[in-house]
Structure 1
Amino acid sequence: MSNLETFDVVVIGGGPAGATAATDLAKLGRSVLLLDRAGRIKPCGGAIPPQAMREFDIPESRLANRVYSARMISPSDRTVDMPIKGGYVGMVDREHFDEWLRERAAETGATRRTGTFERIERDTDGTAIVCYRLGQGRDGESGRVRARAIIGADGANSFVGKHYVPGYETVKYVSAYHEILRTPEGFDNSRCDVYYQGDISPDFYGWVFPHGDTISVGVGTAVPGFSLRAACTELSRRAGLADAEILRREGAPIPLEPLKCWDNGRDIVLAGDAAGVVAPASGEGIYYALTGGRLAGEAVEAFLATGKASALKLARKRFMKAHGKVFWVLGIMQRFWYSSDKRRERFVSLCADPDIQYLTWEAYMNKRLVKARPGAHLRIFLKDMGHLLGIVSPRS
């Protein structure tokens, strides 16, 4: 058996999922190594619902902005405003927010190292050896540590998932791209705009999300060959931001659905985008990444306490029990409503309905099923069927 430094857990990836798992496990007294690549920023609208702030102790001081409504824009340029009554959605810039999460993990007791994960080897007793390269490139000093457990939180297209978790090759992606613009004087920072227009995205949507001093303008699609950059340029023009200064550009794949298996049945479990926990239709990822990281941490703690590899399956089991039904419904919505401009037009018209607005914001803000207005569900079902069957005009 080698004489290497040993950690209870090595967390590979320091986004919201990895940093949360590292923080939670360090709080429990576990020795944790948080390994993250330098300079990696995920393209993201940056929305944080109040429930995320409550569950994960995110202070308001970490927000870059607050928005109080959303505006839906249809293919015909019809706009529908959805005000948030009695609340707001927080906005973060991932460049700063993710770094704060990593700093919190270190302050809690996790060891932080900047480097690139390379592979997993096995010691003579079967314990995993995590091999990595320090620094930003391949020329840095190599490092090796033993790990009783590993959390792969290295994002969509996860290297850990691809090489060490069975079935990972089946994951499906949306390609996302955004540009961070400097906010011009006079721009309305209180509202998020969502463009449901086929030339901006043939199967997803475009977004204009204000972060205070900056704005995230982005698009996503799973259609091969579609020019995300050209669509983003056109989206900036439509939003009146054609002359705004571009501060940075970022692109990355975003998973379309949770993976069927999150662990290797031995000592590795996935979390966050690596596990596919991005909500269909909405593309919401931060809350679900935070949640996935926490559940991965709980599963690893159970594994370390009992020695039973079956405990690693708790992460996916608990996530799907809490959110699987929502993901299933959102997946159906995305496949149906985003499939053509005609359907997108009807979808935006549905968003004008007060019942839909109430239930949408309640579910989004608090991450729970709304039971306070049972009659609203029936009314929405009837209206939705009217739109599906073409009985209701898109303008009604």
Structure 2
Amino acid sequence: MSEQELVDVVVIGGGPAGATAATDLAQRGRSVVLLDRGGRIKPCGGAIPPKAMEEFAIPDEQLVAHIRSARMVAPSNRYVDMPINGGYVGMVDRAPFDEWLRERAATAGAQRVMGYFEQLTRDANGVALIHYRATPNDRHAPLQTIRARAVIGADGAKSSVAKQCIPAAKALPHVAAYHEIIRTPALPFRDFDPERCDVYYQGELSPDFYAWIFPHGDTISVGVGTERKDFSLRTAVKQLRMKTGLDQCETLRCEGAPIPLYPLPKWDNGRDVVLAGDAAGVVAPASGEGIYYALTGGRLAADAVEEFLTTGKSKALTQARKRFMRAHGRVFWILGIMQRFWYKNDTRRERFVSICADPDVQELTWEAYMHKRLVRAKPAAHVRIFLKDMAHLLGMVSPWKK
């Protein structure tokens, strides 16, 4: 690519958000460069709800497992099984899944470039110049440049694009996540179920988030997250594996990454840059779910950039965040309250898990998760849940009392 060539869009970051944005814009006939550093696998549970597969045309072949229930484990080790009646949650392996998304973008017409983003500057006419190197932190490697009318920053929770271009991004708090990918044992194995996700709400495993065991077909993700910097994630995972017998399984790889805690208040620079995915902070509180929201954020960023390129009005870039929050802001707000209250200590975690045994809670939880909307059609169920929650909040009932 000539440094004098001007492209419509450079998308920095090739995860679900960036690859989706690149695909959508390329399909509209825009000249798109997808700049991705490659070789990195995002630590992730890998859950994809049916809504994501439907909206983003993800074929079933991309799934490595079909999850048909979740087990919520309390501090006391009592647990609640939450079956998905008549449905399933798909699981992906992020390494092949993300590459499939990038290849789809290339098939649509996006140009893939391997490189590490360094900085964004401007030429004499104010056009964005994206500087990158083929290898990271190597000052001897030649600095290469792409000129672009618009830029989408989809380069993760500690986005360099965001830090350089969006002032509010510098203070975005994160949860640290760590998981170990292990080989699935021969079945049957103790209490392990290849079609069940296990979620541990125990302070010894995570003081403010949760730990998990997520099946991925031939492999399993065993992980934990926390905002506390003084907490040992590796020790917690080791403890969970010993508790469940999964310490006997071969460890294939270990990965860690930050997870943003809430969406940034501003996603664009008011000129020609907009954020998407983890860079914009779109990971659901309480659950840590990010793939669906990354896919959605990438599409909305692409829509906003298309409008900007068509009209020349930079205000169009604000629509990415406005449309996302209009669709999902209330869910994020509710989940944020849940995380701050119920994850605070083991007494509350015990009550939280016990509430999950309620049939109304299970039904509405799965409905909201699978279809990505708040369920309004069953007011009686909402009233029953509200009354039961208030009884627990006020200490009027003991945990596990129906």
Greater CA deviation, 166-175 or 97-106?
166-175
Correspondences of 1:89-128 after superposition (within 5 Å): 89-128=89-128
Q: Determine the C-alpha separation between the residues in 1 that align with 2:142 and 2:368.
A: 47
Q: Determine the C-alpha separation between the residues in 2 that align with 1:378 and 1:119.
A: 52
Which residue number corresponds to residue 178 of structure 2? Answer: 177
Q: Determine the C-alpha separation between the residues in 1 that align with 2:275 and 2:396.
A: 45
How far off its partner does 1:163 sit? 1.0
Which residue number corresponds to residue 221 of structure 2? Answer: 216
Deviations 1:348-379 (A, max 9, x none): 00000000000000000000121232100000
Correspondences of 1:245-284 after superposition (within 5 Å): 245-284=250-289
Q: For residue 246 of structure 2, give the secondary structure of its aligned residue in structure 1.
A: coil
Q: Number of matched residues? A: 395
Partner amino acid for 1:351? Answer: C
Which residue number corresponds to residue 35 of structure 1? Answer: 35
Question: What is the identity percentage for the equivalent residue pairs of Structure 1 and Structure 2?
Answer: 69
Which residue number corresponds to residue 152 of structure 1? Answer: 153
Deviations 1:119-139 (A, max 9, x none): 112111110011111256635
Q: Does the CA-based 8 Å contact 2:34-2:111 persist in structure 1? A: yes
Q: For residue 149 of structure 2, give the secondary structure of its aligned residue in structure 1.
A: strand
> Aligned pair 1:297/2:302, yes or no?
yes
Partner amino acid for 1:134? Answer: A
Q: For residue 289 of structure 1, give the secondary structure of its aligned residue in structure 2.
A: helix
Q: Does the CA-based 8 Å contact 2:3-2:145 persist in structure 1? A: no
Q: For residue 263 of structure 1, give the secondary structure of its aligned residue in structure 2.
A: coil
Partner amino acid for 1:84? Answer: I
Q: For residue 194 of structure 2, give the secondary structure of its aligned residue in structure 1.
A: coil
Q: For residue 215 of structure 1, give the secondary structure of its aligned residue in structure 2.
A: strand
Q: Does the CA-based 8 Å contact 2:120-2:164 persist in structure 1? A: no
Which residue number corresponds to residue 19 of structure 2? Answer: 19
Q: For residue 144 of structure 1, give the secondary structure of its aligned residue in structure 2.
A: strand
Correspondences of 1:1-396 after superposition (within 5 Å): 4-135=4-135, 138=138, 140-186=141-187, 187=189, 188-396=193-401
How far off its partner does 1:7 sit? 1.0
Q: For residue 124 of structure 1, give the secondary structure of its aligned residue in structure 2.
A: coil
The 1:60/1:136 distance shift into structure 2, 3 A limit, reads: farther
Q: Does the CA-based 8 Å contact 2:32-2:110 persist in structure 1? A: yes
Q: Does the CA-based 8 Å contact 2:268-2:275 persist in structure 1? A: yes
Q: For residue 312 of structure 1, give the secondary structure of its aligned residue in structure 2.
A: helix
Note the residue ranges of structure 2 that are not aligned, 5 or more in a row: none
The 1:149/1:52 distance shift into structure 2, 3 A limit, reads: same
Q: Does the CA-based 8 Å contact 1:10-1:33 persist in structure 2? A: yes
Partner amino acid for 1:95? Answer: A
Note the residue ranges of structure 1 that are not aligned, 5 or more in a row: none
Deviations 1:257-288 (A, max 9, x none): 00000011110000000000000000000000
Q: For residue 40 of structure 1, give the secondary structure of its aligned residue in structure 2.
A: coil
Deviations 1:212-264 (A, max 9, x none): 00000010000121000100111112222011111111101110000000011
Q: For residue 9 of structure 1, give the secondary structure of its aligned residue in structure 2.
A: strand
Deviations 1:304-325 (A, max 9, x none): 0010111000000000000000
Q: Determine the C-alpha separation between the residues in 1 that align with 2:337 and 2:155.
A: 27
Q: Does the CA-based 8 Å contact 1:7-1:31 persist in structure 2? A: yes
Deviations 1:39-97 (A, max 9, x none): 11111100000000000000000001101000000000001000000000000011111
Q: For residue 61 of structure 1, give the secondary structure of its aligned residue in structure 2.
A: helix
Partner amino acid for 2:125? Answer: D
Q: Determine the C-alpha separation between the residues in 2 that align with 1:371 and 1:270.
A: 31
Q: Does the CA-based 8 Å contact 1:50-1:89 persist in structure 2? A: yes
Q: Does the CA-based 8 Å contact 1:135-1:141 persist in structure 2? A: no
The 1:80/1:3 distance shift into structure 2, 3 A limit, reads: closer
Q: Does the CA-based 8 Å contact 2:36-2:116 persist in structure 1? A: yes
Q: Determine the C-alpha separation between the residues in 1 that align with 2:94 and 2:244.
A: 22
Partner amino acid for 1:316? Answer: R
Greater CA deviation, 225-234 or 180-189?
180-189
Q: For residue 115 of structure 2, give the secondary structure of its aligned residue in structure 1.
A: strand
Q: Determine the C-alpha separation between the residues in 2 that align with 1:59 and 1:130.
A: 34
Q: Determine the C-alpha separation between the residues in 2 that align with 1:323 and 1:78.
A: 32
Q: Determine the C-alpha separation between the residues in 1 that align with 2:87 and 2:50.
A: 9
Instruction: Tell me the TM-score normalised to structure 2 length.
Output: 0.97
Instruction: Tell me the TM-score normalised to structure 1 length.
Output: 0.98
Partner amino acid for 1:26? Answer: A
Partner amino acid for 1:175? Answer: A
Partner amino acid for 1:115? Answer: G
How far off its partner does 1:140 sit? 4.4
Q: Does the CA-based 8 Å contact 2:331-2:374 persist in structure 1? A: no
